[in-house]
Amino acid sequence: MIKSLNKVFTILLTSAFVITASAQKLQISLGAFSGTPLGDFTKKDINDPTAGYALYNSGANLEIKYYFDKLGLGLRGSFGSYYRDYQTYQDDLVKQLGITDDNYDFSMTNTFFTASPQIGISYRFKLAKKLILEPYFFAGATILTTPVERGVYHISGTTYHYEKKPQLYYGLNYIPGLKFQWNIWKHIGAAAFVEYEGSSLRTENETVLVYSANTYNKTEVSKSYNPQTIGGGLSLLIYFGLEEKE
């Protein structure tokens, strides 16, 4: 009896595997994107703990997705940059430090770097032969590093050195989006996509040093960045396993 049940179970399991495998496909996507920051991260106020002076962002992502018929489950790694309004930020910093002339020189990278591993789900809608519309939702962890800031300035006969150390922020993010896919050839495709990214990062303290030959001042400044972006991009798609039949 047990042997018979085992045999039946084996047959059912094998059949299920064959049926499932016939509708599965692996897809690798390499994309590039750019976007417009939203919300507090775009504020230009050096005293606002949420302000990032962000102008635009760009980056790249690598996505590996496994399809069960039309349902896709995937992993994605995303790397990007937020570019800061350099001139406005420097003007505000000069005023904050009490500099009233041109006796200063600052060196800044003016780029926030981000990295994020994500897990997501999607669903494919066939529009026409070889054309697919695919809404998706990804969520995961994210980290952000602040720009490097260094400078020297002169006030009332004293030369000061200024330095703000890079700070690492980490938290969670989520990305709903919509992808339009074109199957160029059985193993190759291309896609255009639009998406929104929201994030929530931990509040951290940024360390600011101002010192001269006779003075030294160390300040901890609390910041709370929560970047939001709406943007889009293009992707190269590579299919593995079965041929694309849509």
**Is the pLDDT at 210 greater than 70, yes or no?**
yes
Report pTM.
0.82
Write the single-letter amino acid at 35. Answer: G
Q: Please tell me the number of Cα atoms within 13 Å of 157 on its side-chain side.
A: 1
| d(C-alpha 163, C-alpha 236), whole Å | 42
Phi, psi of 166 (to 5 degrees): -60, 140
pLDDT, tens digit, for every residue of 91-150?
999 999 999 999 999 998 899 999 999 999 999 999 998 899 999 999 999 999 999 999
Residue 147 tokens read as 């720009």
Mean pLDDT of the chain: 89
What pLDDT digit, counting tens, does each position of 81-94 carry? 999 999 999 999 99
Neighbouring CB atoms inside 10 A of 153's CB total 21
**What is the chain's Cα-based Rg?**
25
Structural domains for the chain: 24-240 (2.40.160.20)
